[in-house]
Structures are given as structure tokens and as C-alpha cells.
Amino acid sequence: MMSLFRGCPGAVNIREVKPEEIECPECGHMVEIWSDELTARCSNCGASVSREQGPSCIDWCSFAEECIGTDKYRQLKNSGTATEQAS
């Protein structure tokens, strides 16, 4: 059985963040956004750029807060998850 201390595979992008480049829909400039963020600001034109996020363990797992930490859990829940944004 997997221990929460080693972590579950569903939370890898939340716990071990990595940068991603998204094209700004306004000016085409490449914007760096991290895997634990939903939006970033384009440094070229100032537009808000959103990263598409699929379903996340924070949407359904009862251990998510313990697994990723209270601060990160609250930040992601307050910013809205992919499930909420898709509607």
C-alpha cells in the first residue's frame, strides 16, 4: 500500500512543480506558468494567460489536504479547479 509520506502519483504536479510555456492568446508571446498555477500574467502585453488543468486529486481525494499541504490545498481550492472551471 502506498504511503502518503512517499506521495500519491496524482499529486506529483502539485508537489513537484515544473515550468510550462503557454502561448499568450493576445500577443503570441510565450509565458512561463508553473504546474501548480492556473494563471500567469504575460510580461509582453499584460494579459492573463490560463493553463488548462485536468481533473485533480484535490477534487475527489479525502487525503488531498494532508498529501499536498494545507496552504497549497486551500490556494488551489480557492482559485478553482479544472472541474469547476469547465462548467
What distance in Å separates the CA atoms of residue 2 and residue 9, rounded to the nearest whole number?
10
Question: Spelled out in words, what is the top-level CATH class assigned to the domain 9-81?
Answer: mainly beta
- Entry pTM: 0.58
Encode pLDDT of 38-53 as tens digits: 889 999 999 999 887 6
Instruction: Check residue 18 and give its pLDDT.
Output: 87
Nine cell digits for residue 27: 500577443
What residue ranges of the chain have pLDDT lower than 50? 1-4, 81-87
Residue spans of the domains in the chain: they are 9-81
